[in-house]
Amino acid sequence: MGIFSPQTPNKKTGGIENAKEQLMTLTDVIAPSAISVTPRSINMSGVATRVYYAVSYPRFLNDGWLEPVLNLTRELDVSIFVHPIDTAETLKKFQKKVAEVQSQINIKEEKGEVRDPQLEAAYRNLEELRDKLQQAEEKLFNVGFYIAVYGSDETELNQAENDIRGILDARMIAMKPALFQQEPGIKSIFPLSRDELLVHSKFNSSPLSSFFPFTSFDLTSDSGILYGINRHNSSLVLFDRYSLTNYNSVTFATSGAGKSYGLKLEILRSLMFGTEVIVLDPEREYEYLAEATGGRFFNISLSSKHHVNPFDLPPPADDEDPRDVLRTHVIELVGLFRLMLGGLTPEEETLIDLAIQETYALKDITGEANFADMEPPLLTDFEMVLAGMEGSASLISRLQKYTSGTWSGFMNEPTNVDINQKFVVFSLRDMEDELKTIAMYIITNFIWGSVRRRLAKRLMVIDEAWWMMKSEDTASFLFSLAKRGRKYYLGIATITQDVDDFLRSPYGVPMITNSSIQLLMKQSPTAIDNIQATFNLTDEEKMLLLESSVGEGIFFAGLKHVAIKIIASYTEDQIITSDPSQLMKIKSARAELKAARD
């Protein structure tokens, strides 16, 4: 056993040379204060470490055999050294080895002995490998596989050793501690690209590929975008939502946990792969992202110049009956008026239904007509038809605030927004709270009609989706989009911080079950029990959500889930950040740049 520590400069001597010796170097800063080396372990500043190396492997290695080790909830480091072997020299040795095995087989045959299946299998394998080496289909490598485990004492190291041995012994991989070689072992583990243990096994290309470390279950798609990194093993969380059973996602998090940041990062990366994105933005958080990516930004309010007419009809698809399209839209309008007018009695609902049909008939829009290019009616046309119907006085008095009153500025105008763009944002920040749910319903219905006109890969993001879950009509419509969107290559991404309001809706849990991707980020103590029951989380996962930092959480894809940390490059961060201090700096920099140009 040896103990040593960095030498202390002699303060009694002087001179320039001694002064130079006393200067602190980078090595002095990062070096441990003391190191204790024993035959079986090495202790650096109180952290016990033990290094192991692999000495034998089974005949076949399956892909992902390293995954259980990497996913252990223990601190460990793995080093894999791959040293290429000269193929020409190897082939000469192979020829000799093949001849030796062939000779042994021939001798057994001449003596009339029972054939040896293992010897014959070895001969076939050698022949096959020799042919592949000659044809450059395979190459040979010397491979060193080393593991370092960490703990506070020898007992913890022994427990970690038992865990690792249990996993690898089941796969017939034998590991040994680097006895009397702990110092070269730890140097081989450090990220210095120095193999000082030099304990190697020979592998050809095919089995060597099974050593690829990023094979944990979060790497489930060969294509897609980067959502973040696995917090347990730092592997990549790569997914293509359009390769899953449906294209929908839900994100739950408290305010400031990074939910909008994560979705904006997904939007930015999805745009690079040709996905069209439409966002309902209740807080005007996506304006700079739209500007930076060349998208369109519509600020929806009562005084806005942008309008959406709820009576717009989607043109029927080739396989759709116009009567069905008209009937469905009439039903959706009845739901809208139920929301606008604060509920309807059965008699009032019947009057509304008849009045909507009469209003369309005024413009010659019927199920038998081609209404694709016809001008739709306005809300004032509907009011006029309703005024001529008996028993409609109460309905008209409630409707007038939308046609001629304070709230008439948004929906009583022809539609003048075009969403045939790669990226479109509808901001509702300046819309009155009483009208936000209505506005989201109208805009979502308008988007749905536009989606059905042209097939394209699209993502519709609904931030603060709890606004739409407050009403049964809007929640029902959102759920129908989640179910029917796949047919039109549309994914629905809902984000909410008010988890209880979302789950309280009868459509809350069905929305979750109809979403292939779920992202849970930091949760409040008041909502965590509901979240745990809904997602069947363990107590450890529950604590992980309570203690998560900004940008951290649990990522679900299908039946699998991992702890995730969302990461962005510096450029991406500057585009998608919602941090007020960063936004102020960005605005200041842009103002200075503009002043310099002027």
For the chain, which residues make up each domain, given as ranges?
2-85+139-211, 225-282+290-297+423-567, 322-403
Match 């419509």 to its residue by tokens. Answer: 477
The pLDDT of residue 13 is 47
- pLDDT one digit per residue (tens) for the chain, 598 residues: 454 444 444 444 455 555 455 677 777 777 888 888 999 899 988 899 999 999 999 878 887 788 888 878 788 899 999 999 887 777 777 777 777 777 777 787 777 777 777 777 777 777 777 777 777 777 888 999 999 999 988 899 999 999 998 999 988 999 999 999 999 999 999 988 899 999 999 888 888 888 877 655 554 566 788 898 888 777 788 888 888 888 999 999 988 888 889 999 999 999 998 899 999 988 888 988 998 899 999 988 888 888 888 998 887 777 778 888 888 889 989 989 998 888 889 899 999 999 999 999 888 888 777 777 788 899 999 999 998 888 888 899 888 888 887 777 778 888 888 888 899 999 988 888 888 888 888 998 888 888 888 888 999 999 888 888 888 888 888 898 898 888 889 999 999 887 877 888 888 888 988 898 999 999 888 889 888 888 888 888 888 899 888 889 999 887 778 889 999 998 898 888 877 777 777 777 777 777 777 6
Biggest alpha carbon–alpha carbon distance for the chain: 112
Please state, as a whole number, how many other Cβ atoms lie within 10 Å of the Cβ of residue 351: 19
Whole-model pTM over 0.75: no
The pLDDT of residue 540 is 82
The pLDDT of residue 221 is 64
Give the HSE-up count for residue 298: Cα atoms under 13 Å, Cβ half-sphere: 23
**Rounded distance between C-alpha atoms, residue 144 and residue 197, angstroms:** 8
Chain CA centroid to CA 379, Å: 42
Task: Confirm if 202 and 143 have CB atoms less than 8 A apart.
Answer: yes
The CA–CA distances, whole Å, from 197 to 80, 149, 180, 561 equal 12, 16, 11, 37
Encoded amino acid at 587, one letter: K
3-state secondary structure 103-152: HHHHHHHHHCCCCCHHHHHHHHHHHHHHHHHHCCCCCEEEEEEEEEEEEC
Task: Confirm if 204 and 143 have CB atoms less than 8 A apart.
Answer: no
The pLDDT of residue 9 is 46
Structure tokens at 100: 């030796």
The pLDDT of residue 185 is 92
Match 């209404």 to its residue by tokens. Answer: 371
Per the DSSP assignment, residues forming a β-bridge with 228 are 237
The pLDDT of residue 452 is 83
Identify the CATH number of the domain defined by range 225-282+290-297+423-567. 3.40.50.300
Task: Confirm if 390 and 324 have CB atoms less than 8 A apart.
Answer: no
User: Which residues make Cβ contacts (< 8 Å) with residue 429, sequence separation at least 6?
Assistant: 281, 282, 283, 284, 299
The pLDDT of residue 11 is 46
